[in-house]
Structure 1
Amino acid sequence: MTAQGANDGGFGIYVHWPFCAAKCPYCDFNSHVRHQPVDQSRFAGAFRQELSYFAELTRGKRVESIFLGGGTPSLMEPATVEAILTAIADRWTLDDNVEITLEANPSSVEASRFRGYRSAGVNRVSLGVQSLHDSDLKLLGRLHDAASARKAIETARATFPRLSFDLIYARPGQTLADWADELNEAIALAADHLSLYQLTIEHGTPFYALHQAGKLKMPDPDLAAEFFELTQEVTTAAGLPAYEVSNHARPGAECRHNLVYWRYGDYVGVGPGAHGRLSVGATRLATSTERHPESWLESVETAGHGLIENAGLNEEEQGDEYLLMGLRLKEGIDLGRYETFSHRSVDPRRLKALLEHGMVEEIGENRVRATREGFFVLDAVVADLAA
């Protein structure tokens, strides 16, 4: 990667479907439960309108990835997915190898629905499995059981060229031996990609309230670090090393859409609560949309978009974001690109100190990456480099 500007990171489109069948107690995403059927045709029309708005801002860009996230996008009818993907193809040029990912929950998997998504153009699915143990799935508030998860993985592998699924570890009461067994089973089930996240307690969630009340005991920091180390060892030995802090893939099977984020590329974000980063002329814009689904819908139908933020980022903000995103990657960051965004160089004394303390390492001319030790204190590493 050379220091040519923001678009070195590629260009993608994120589509947020905000609805879920139930809200998980650990989740702080912008997701909403509706007890009446959602008017999918009306929402599809609003997605088309907002996509048109952003297409005008990003003329000439080539779409390398599309990600339908949520919420639970597998609650969408295949016709809704097809309408959104057709709208994108009508407004931009798609790369010949465009990656089109749809997030799905095992509880909403039907073979016929999956075939409909595949016919619509989806070529990669990301399943929110979270655990292969029934008791933990119940704790996590999931609507599926372990047998349904295994069946969903089987159906996805038979339908889509590419598959990933998520697991959460360092759960209350989980032992390292339990996790090693579960992880090895997951690797046997996986195709070429796994997303493996430590359970975190997010402010405002039911788990946060339980944790504050002493009713949810989490692993202490030392044990959590052991879970992380075990995860790296087992996945690396199996040929799915981490290419990002929480994401593991066989070489060449990395999620292209997430790489757009971590390489600090450009991406359009449409739908309720979606965020974007766009280079428009000499300005890099941070965009975000109205979070409440029905309010977003009314805004789009009235104004053509649901934007509540559309602001230029200054040089310092761009540099900080590039460091924060890029240092999550095994490939690290290009210090020349950092200078392009921030219009300043990293302080050589601070870099030298971080190298000496084993927080970062050099991996080639003008490139550095965080070490495993650096990952645990990434915010502090970024603050030091940006100072």
Structure 2
Amino acid sequence: MPQLPEGVPVPDDGALPEWVAGPRPGAFGVYVHVPFCSVRCGYCDFNTYTASELGGGASQHAYATTALSEVALAERVMAASGVPARPVSTVFFGGGTPTMLPASDLVRILGGVRDAWGLADDAEVTTEANPDSVTPESLAALRAGGFTRVSFGMQSAVPSVLATLDRTHDPRRIPDVVRWAREAGLAVSLDLIYGTPGESLADWRTSLEAAVATGVDHVSAYALVVEPGTKMGAQVRRGQLPEPDPDEQATMYELADELLTAAGLGWYEVSNWSRPGFECRHNLAYWRGDDWWGIGPGAHSYVAGAHPEHAGVRWWNVKHPRRYAALLEGGTTPAAARELLTHEDGELERVMLQIRLREGLPLDALTASGRTAVGTLVGQGLLDGRAALGADGAGRRALLTLRGRLLADAVVRALTD
């Protein structure tokens, strides 16, 4: 499990820097981290815990109440710091497996968010879920409680691949849970992973075709990264599993783009495809630099600066649920540390994040040397030449080609000196 980044101390009351006070140009989102899982998957390095790992003192039964304590803290801190109250545009419950909690607890946390700031009329409210952690009744209860979207961790349709990933669900359940969610009135996304050790291109095609066959609204597809400190990392280090092959993963990405595009799901971010109007607005808010507050152990938050010299402040909570709960119970912020972003930091992050989007990045957001690099990147087939010239009527933009999406990190390095 990765360590939290280093940073500067946060005041005990969680107060934000004075330079965040003032009007906000973007949206406001809330992320709720639910750190519980039934088992720990071998590839996962997220801040999650099984019951045996947690032991006493961090009850799932008390988690909703603890999370609501941070919602109340967030409301106080933002008001005291001069950040104007705005209805919440998006709420995303991630983990972990949020649906390890009863639907009533998730609805109660959402109610606390609504009470604190209000929800926009068209608010997007998502929960992640494992296919074996929901029922038709629980999905209907979520929809009745204000949820609008569910994202299922499908990962693969091939049993041997799921076994390597330590996933516990039966892939034959996927069409059922998608149907149940649709019948409840929820939009549906499926998460896939490609490049698992032992996964063939034919296996990956099987998973993509199975996802498309459900008629799903949205697909996220991520290349497997073997993280140090995970069970899979140890297996690769000992030679029990082969390392993922980057060239094979690139071929798998190209196949995903081909099949998903043919099925009517267009790419809108490097790892995400959707039908028109079903993009994940919460994740778009991250990539566009909007404000969000992260509730839960290990959760990160960000509030933009309202001063030319300060891009914003980012902070992150302590990781362990017991410590998180104890700090809130004592009336203290659960934040572990924070980072104060300069204007230059903000401009760099804008390029790193917005270049990943289908809308691209305006060329005037780049430095002079970054704009000079655009021509070379177009010549290398990494950026779209028509978009760079503004020939598509959307202004001069840096827009990744398919090849550029495969080499997005290299494009960022070229555009940012």
TM-score, scaled relative to structure 2: 0.85
TM-score, scaled relative to structure 1: 0.91
CA deviations on 1:145-167 (whole Å, 9 max, x unpaired) are 11233322222222233011112
1:16 to 20, 30, 33: 33
User: 1:128·1:166 contact (CA, 8 Å) conserved in 2?
Assistant: yes
Higher mean displacement: 154-163 or 53-62: 53-62
Residue in 2 aligned with 1:300? 328
- 1:345 Cα shift? 5.0
Identity value in percent: 37
Letter in 1 for 2:396: N
Higher mean displacement: 14-23 or 294-303: 294-303
Residue in 2 aligned with 1:349? 372
Alpha-carbon spacing, 1:148–1:348, altered in 2? closer, same or farther (3 Å): closer
Residue in 1 aligned with 2:347? 319
2:73 is the counterpart of 1:53? yes
Residue in 1 aligned with 2:13? none
Counterparts of 2:213 and 2:139 in 1: how far apart (Å)? 22
User: 1:106·1:129 contact (CA, 8 Å) conserved in 2?
Assistant: yes
User: 2:155·2:193 contact (CA, 8 Å) conserved in 1?
Assistant: yes
Residue in 2 aligned with 1:272? 297
- 1:268 Cα shift? 1.0
- 1:346 Cα shift? 5.3
Q: Runs of 5+ in structure 1 lacking a partner?
A: none
Question: 3-state DSSP class of the match of 2:384?
Answer: strand
User: 2:178·2:216 contact (CA, 8 Å) conserved in 1?
Assistant: no
Alpha-carbon spacing, 1:319–1:382, altered in 2? closer, same or farther (3 Å): same
User: 2:363·2:371 contact (CA, 8 Å) conserved in 1?
Assistant: no
CA deviations on 1:128-175 (whole Å, 9 max, x unpaired) are 111112222222101211123332222222223301111212222322
CA deviations on 1:286-341 (whole Å, 9 max, x unpaired) are 111111111111112223431112332112221121111111111112344x36xx
Counterparts of 2:24 and 2:239 in 1: how far apart (Å)? 47
CA deviations on 1:40-75 (whole Å, 9 max, x unpaired) are 453222222212222241432231100000010001
Question: 3-state DSSP class of the match of 1:19?
Answer: coil
CA deviations on 1:11-56 (whole Å, 9 max, x unpaired) are 2110000111111001111111114685345322222221222224
- 1:258 Cα shift? 0.7
2:108 is the counterpart of 1:62? no
Alpha-carbon spacing, 1:134–1:181, altered in 2? closer, same or farther (3 Å): closer
2:405 is the counterpart of 1:375? yes
Q: How many residues align?
A: 378
- 1:230 Cα shift? 0.9
Q: Superposition RMSD on alpha carbons, in Å?
A: 2.2
Letter in 2 for 1:309: A
Alpha-carbon spacing, 1:147–1:6, altered in 2? closer, same or farther (3 Å): farther
User: 2:373·2:414 contact (CA, 8 Å) conserved in 1?
Assistant: yes
Alpha-carbon spacing, 1:116–1:242, altered in 2? closer, same or farther (3 Å): same
Counterparts of 1:328 and 1:201 in 2: how far apart (Å)? 22
Question: 3-state DSSP class of the match of 1:228?
Answer: helix
Counterparts of 2:342 and 2:396 in 1: how far apart (Å)? 24
Alpha-carbon spacing, 1:296–1:184, altered in 2? closer, same or farther (3 Å): same
1:175 to 200, 221, 224: 200
Question: 3-state DSSP class of the match of 1:69?
Answer: strand
Residue in 1 aligned with 2:250? 225
Matches within 5 A, 1:196-275: 196-275=221-300
Question: 3-state DSSP class of the match of 1:303?
Answer: coil
CA deviations on 1:88-145 (whole Å, 9 max, x unpaired) are 1111132110000011111211222222222221110001111112222222101211
Letter in 2 for 1:110: T
